[in-house]
Homo-oligomer: A and B are copies of this chain.
């Protein structure tokens, strides 16, 4: 759109996430970081476009990091930055970037302070001060050991509450575009009964996507319809049109979803 009055608004920023951990792939741990990173990125005006979950395996991490960091504005990782032998994310990311690993003096100082009353800074704990050469730190207000930023790659914790704190620390610091806005309608109807309406309403409202999410509750079929757009006006118009279309078919839509 060369004659757009605000070309900057049209720039779409994308991110990818690499979730690192055998515990996710074994099914033992239910991942919570995908949803929280996705939601946080949305508020920053950055779209999470792809997620890969890989094992605690250096070649797998290196391959995922290099495939994704080169095609997205930002790459986040979660997991594998702790003090134990299975925490290999720093080494893997350094390898991916062709960088050495070094002890970050500020990270060392943070850990020395944190462990001063907790048994002292052992070799294992000092592992958490290791970073790819040239990296910056991301504050961790919960447990001392910081997250790491190197170029467009952000290394976050695996424990979701710690990652939440690291995301808080990054809020507002990354360039993003227009946030994707969304609105939801819920309806006690089988989605298959209104599939044509959904498709036609989406087509009639450029820049809007309608997602349909069926559910079965209390023995009844229903669906939530989520409309997404970066344009608040288009979003409202699309939502009104869908609601009117459902009403014309005899279905009452509940704003906000069911």
Contacts and interface: CB of A to CB of B under 8 A. Distances in A.
Copies in the complex: 2
Interface in A1-58: 19, 21-32, 34-42, 47-56
A15 to B, nearest CB: 10
Given A119-B193, A195-B84, A211-B56, A226 B28 contact: yes
A143 to B, nearest CB: 7
A35 to B, nearest CB: 5
Contacts of A83: 191-192, 195
B35 A84 contact: no
A82 interface: yes
A97 interface: no
Interface stretch (A133-141, A168-176, A213-221, A235-243): A213-221
Given A31-B31, A50-B60, A182 B26 contact: yes
A95 B41 CA distance: 31
Interface of A: 19, 21-32, 34-42, 47-56, 60, 82-86, 118-119, 122-125, 127-128, 142-143, 159, 161, 180, 182, 190-193, 195-196, 198-199, 202, 209-216, 226, 228
